[in-house]
Amino acid sequence: MKLDKHGRFVGRRLRNDRFFQLLLVLLGASVGWWLLKPTGFGTWGGAGIRTGHVEHENLTEISGIVLSRRNPDVIWAHNDSGGIARVFALKTDGTHLGAFPLAGARAIDWEDIAIGPGPSSDVDYLYLADTGNNTLTRSVVTVYRVPEPRLDGKSSTATRSLNGVEALSFRFPGSPHECETLLVDPLTADLYLVSRDRNARQGGNSFVFLSPAPHRPGTTRTLELVASFPAPIEIKGGDISPDGGMILLRAHSTRQQGKALLWNRERKEAPLAQVFGEPGHSAPVRREPKGEAIAFSADGRSYFTVGEGLTAPIYRYDVPPEPDQ
């Protein structure tokens, strides 16, 4: 485009000017990206809806989350290796609701948290997986179980110890494995650990290990290898929907193709391990810094993720429909 001495366009019409056409294309692309971003469609970069930010200044290395069953819109979360053996309660907008040390527990390398049934049929239990094993030197790993507490829903800086903690000890068949995903079947109380294939040491596969319910402290049980599946990238966390009908696993998200894998359990009476006989289908997640944590909402219609870092954002996603066969 050219201007005369009065600042008016001369020569070609605007609609025929290539520079103007380029501006229109860029404007259209920007508007399209903006429209797609909050709805969760489009690329992984625009998936999900941000519900808030983690408020607590010490909750910066989140490795696992689970949605409460007793307290509406509450997330239970924990940090990764080392530090105090405690769980944090926060609202889905990130508001801090309290920190809760587990009496008598240790935090060697906590990797995931789950919620499910236990010894008392009318109680929901939190399960904490102290199963990190980066160097494959831990021959025995521990899952802590404690009744889920009820909260008053108010923000609190106080701490409250959780009593009644049970330590469930496990060893793997054969050599040790690194497991960063804990699943507790809401229908049977069976416990599953899913291995992480760090640096393709397992040939690009993840292994699924089972400990059938009931679980009692005081003895070390040997896990059973019940399934394996090709993992496109390392599995770092997971959850089972409250009705037991879906299994969601999160792959490590340091690469652009970071995503989650979703399986549908067509027959809920079937052993959960059977679902891994078919490939999971993709579910969107954000590419969060060191993103590991993922969990279904209490109604099972959506799921949440959160990464690491100070004031990490919290995202909610609608469960995608099952693809046509």
DSSP string, 207-252: EEEEEPSP--TTSEEEPEEEEEEE-SS-EEEEEE-TTS-EEEEEE-
Mean pLDDT for the stretch of residues 74-93: 94
Q: Does 201 lie in the same domain as 152?
A: yes
Mean pLDDT for the stretch of residues 162-181: 95
Residue span of the structural domain in which 16 resides:
1-39
Mean pLDDT for the stretch of residues 194-209: 83
pLDDT class of 288 with cuts at 50, 70, 90? confident
Determine whether 294 is exposed, middle or buried from the number of CB atoms within 10 Å of its CB (0-12, 13-18, 19+).
Answer: buried
Q: Is a pLDDT exceeding 90 seen at residue 25? A: no
pLDDT of residue 259: 78
Q: Does 75 lie in the same domain as 10?
A: no
From the CB of residue 243, how many other CB atoms can be counted at a distance below 10 Å? Answer: 13
pLDDT of residue 30: 46
Q: Does 67 lie in the same domain as 35?
A: no
Mean pLDDT for the stretch of residues 135-160: 88
Locate tokens 């998200």: which residue? Answer: 253
pLDDT class of 323 with cuts at 50, 70, 90? confident
Classify residue 190 by its DSSP letter.
Answer: -
pLDDT of residue 42: 32
311's tokens: 């004031």
pLDDT of residue 204: 80
Number of domains in the chain: 2
Distance CA 76, CA 115 (A): 10
Q: Does 191 lie in the same domain as 111?
A: yes
119's tokens: 């010894």
pLDDT class of 29 with cuts at 50, 70, 90? very low
Of 144, 241, 250, the C-alpha closest to 196 is: 250
The answer to the question of residue 295 being in a domain is: yes
Q: Does 109 lie in the same domain as 206?
A: yes
122's tokens: 């009318």
pLDDT class of 321 with cuts at 50, 70, 90? confident
pLDDT of residue 9: 44
The answer to the question of residue 324 being in a domain is: no
From the CB of residue 226, how many other CB atoms can be counted at a distance below 10 Å? Answer: 17
Q: Is a pLDDT exceeding 70 seen at residue 264? A: yes
Distance CA 281, CA 248 (A): 10
Distance CA 218, CA 308 (A): 34
96 and 144 Cβ atoms separated by less than 8 Å: no
For the segment 33-82, what is each residue's pLDDT rounded down to a tens digit? 333 343 333 335 568 999 999 999 999 999 999 999 999 999 999 999 77
Q: Does 13 lie in the same domain as 58?
A: no
Q: Does 85 lie in the same domain as 25?
A: no
pLDDT of residue 118: 97
Highest mean pLDDT (candidates 95-104, 154-163, 245-254): 95-104
The answer to the question of residue 45 being in a domain is: no
pLDDT of residue 316: 98
Q: Is a pLDDT exceeding 60 seen at residue 32? A: no
Of 231, 237, 227, 235, the C-alpha closest to 277 is: 227
Work out whether strand 166-171 and strand 220-222 pair parallel, antiparallel, or are unpaired. parallel
Q: Does 155 lie in the same domain as 298?
A: yes
155's tokens: 């923000």
Q: Does 95 lie in the same domain as 26?
A: no
Question: pTM of the entire structure?
Answer: 0.84
Q: Does 122 lie in the same domain as 24?
A: no
Mean pLDDT for the stretch of residues 257-266: 83
Q: Does 160 lie in the same domain as 16?
A: no
